[in-house]
Amino acid sequence: MKLKMSIGEQIKEDQAVALDLLDMLTYTSSIATANISRDKIFELASQQDGITAKHMKKIYLLVKNYGYEYTKACKVVANEAHHPALKSFLMRLSSALATGEDESKFLRGEADRMVEVYTNKYESDVDSLQKWTDAYSAILVSVTLVIAVFLISTMLYSMGDLYSTSILSGILLCFIAFIGVYALYRAAPYEVIVHSLTVKSKEQEMAKRLSIFILPAGCITSFILLIAGVEPWIIFLTISIFFAPIGIIGMRDGKKIEKADEDISSFLKSLGTTAGTTQSTLTTALERMDRKSVASLEEHVNRLHKRLQNGVNPTICWYNFVGETGSELINKSTRVFIDAITLGGDPTKIGEIVSKSSLGIALLRIKRKFVSAGFMNLTIPLHGAMSGVLMFIYGIMFSFSNAVGVMMAKHSTEVEGAASTGMTAGMAINIGGSTDLAFIAYFVTFIIFVLTIASAFASKCAAGGSNYTLCYYLSVMFFVSAVVTLVVPIMADKIFTLE
């Protein structure tokens, strides 16, 4: 029964285990307030989603199917756990059960402890993310300058095989860009913003429907334009236009989720307090609440209240309430809240536990937003500057090559006389020589394309959020690339003149 994990699964566990443990402890400490049996706690915990739930399920099966004591089962599963934090928790759980400590008291203490652990880890990850964003920018600028020096050198000197050197430079850029983006992905705090329920928010439904048609149409259109030999800036602009609607909707949904996550703690705490002090059901407590105090959740709460008043199954009402917010934090917090109260727990205590956990996560995300916003504000002009430098160098090369060609055509006699006297003998200067400008144009366009993709994915890794927000970053970066590839060559041609 040993859990076998691939390298990819181990990396995911390493990132997700702290948040997963926090969610599990919040759930178990909440349902334990209902004074249910130990078997019921493990049974309900094993039915949840996540890494910890798999281990709790294994403990439950060892007890039910193989006759283990919970103390022994916890130790067995702890020895097979991969992550130290999960192993340590299971060993402490085994010791608490062996000493006869009350499950409710132990789980509440572990939940408070895990809030502190998760907070420290999240803040550490944010600090690491800030350092890696600076490092990513510096590394990408350095590689771009290396490629710029290579382009200038091809104009001045014969550097051997131009094509091999260009391919190696492109591979180097791709490799470094991939390493940089992956480093940001690993450094960023792990969190799931959007839930995976069948019922989703209006923005998520709209973005999903648009992506089914727009993304394939965008790929096909861009490919046709590429085959037709259209100017690169037109292709970049076309890609930007196709990504824009999905990206804008995704960002709008992300802002709504952000506000809802900040308000869910106060809503659940107020609802739990009202239900606990009045000794009433959640439906009755919802009627007595001031629903305007829940801010961004007012529309969702009013819709929930109407459905409950009309006699719709409460499970369906709460499921739709969670689904329409689109938030995974609201999904988990509400599920804990409802399950614990359904089992007979104290609504006031449960509201406080869930509120503390959800509010802590929402406040931590504000710190990440501060770092990611600064990185985004740097990445856009930096991408424009790096792409602009490469396009400017190519524009100078193109204008210079044309000017030298015209000059040599007008003064062919003098050039031939100079060559006959041996003035250029032994020199490796390539001015007006045989540089393949068409290949250089493709090379520069490819480099800008790679920088565009890397900058978009780096911004997404730093900011987090749903996958739809990636379309927003891609749209912005491709628009910047389109402007650069259109404007900079014109500027270079106007600036550079050769009499």
Q: State yes or no: pLDDT of 422 exceeds 50.
A: no
124 domain residue, yes or no: no
Does residue 87 share a domain with residue 46?
A: yes
Q: Provide the H-helix boundaries in 100-161.
A: 103-156
Does residue 241 share a domain with residue 166?
A: yes
Does residue 375 share a domain with residue 237?
A: yes
How many structural domains compose the chain?
2
**Are the beta carbons of 358 and 275 closer than 8 angstroms?**
no
15 domain residue, yes or no: yes
Q: pLDDT higher for 436 or 426?
A: 436
Look at residue 432 in the predicted model and tell me its pLDDT.
Answer: 46
Q: Which domain holds residue 184?
A: 129-188+219-249+368-412+427-495
Does residue 137 share a domain with residue 77?
A: no
Q: Give the type of residue at 271.
A: L
Q: State yes or no: pLDDT of 313 exceeds 60.
A: yes
Does residue 85 share a domain with residue 149?
A: no
Q: State yes or no: pLDDT of 7 exceeds 70.
A: no
- Tens digits of residue pLDDT in 432-468: 445 677 888 899 999 999 999 999 999 999 998 888 9
- Tens digits of residue pLDDT in 231-244: 999 999 999 999 99
31 domain residue, yes or no: yes
Residues 6+ apart with CB under 8 A from 34: 340, 343, 344, 345
**Are the beta carbons of 289 and 270 closer than 8 angstroms?**
yes
Q: How far apart are CA 142 and CA 122, in angstroms?
A: 30
Tokens of 187: 């450094």
Does residue 49 share a domain with residue 143?
A: no
Look at residue 58 in the predicted model and tell me its pLDDT.
Answer: 93
- pLDDT band at 404; cut points 50, 70, 90: low
Per-residue pLDDT, averaged over 134-151, amounts to 87
Does residue 376 share a domain with residue 245?
A: yes
Does residue 155 share a domain with residue 88?
A: no
- pLDDT band at 75; cut points 50, 70, 90: very high
43 domain residue, yes or no: yes
Q: How far apart are CA 355 and CA 349, in angstroms?
A: 10
116 domain residue, yes or no: no
Does residue 374 share a domain with residue 244?
A: yes
Does residue 435 share a domain with residue 394?
A: yes
Q: State yes or no: pLDDT of 4 exceeds 50.
A: no
317 domain residue, yes or no: no
Q: How far apart are CA 65 and CA 42, in angstroms?
A: 14
Look at residue 409 in the predicted model and tell me its pLDDT.
Answer: 65
- pLDDT band at 131; cut points 50, 70, 90: very high
Q: State yes or no: pLDDT of 492 exceeds 50.
A: yes
Q: Please identify, among 51, 85, 101, the residue that sits at the C-terminal boundary of a domain.
A: 101
- Tens digits of residue pLDDT in 257-295: 999 999 999 999 999 998 888 888 888 888 888 777 788
Chain-wide mean pLDDT for the chain? 85
Closest by CA to 326, choosing from 458, 475, 206, 463, is 206
267 domain residue, yes or no: no
What does the angle CA 11 – CA 466 – CA 53 come to, to the nearest 5 degrees?
Answer: 45
Cα Rg of the chain, angstroms: 30
374 domain residue, yes or no: yes
Q: Give the type of residue at 398.
A: F
- Altogether, the residues listed in the chain come to a count of 499
Does residue 162 share a domain with residue 81?
A: no
Look at residue 415 in the predicted model and tell me its pLDDT.
Answer: 52
Does residue 473 share a domain with residue 400?
A: yes
Q: pLDDT higher for 85 or 253?
A: 253
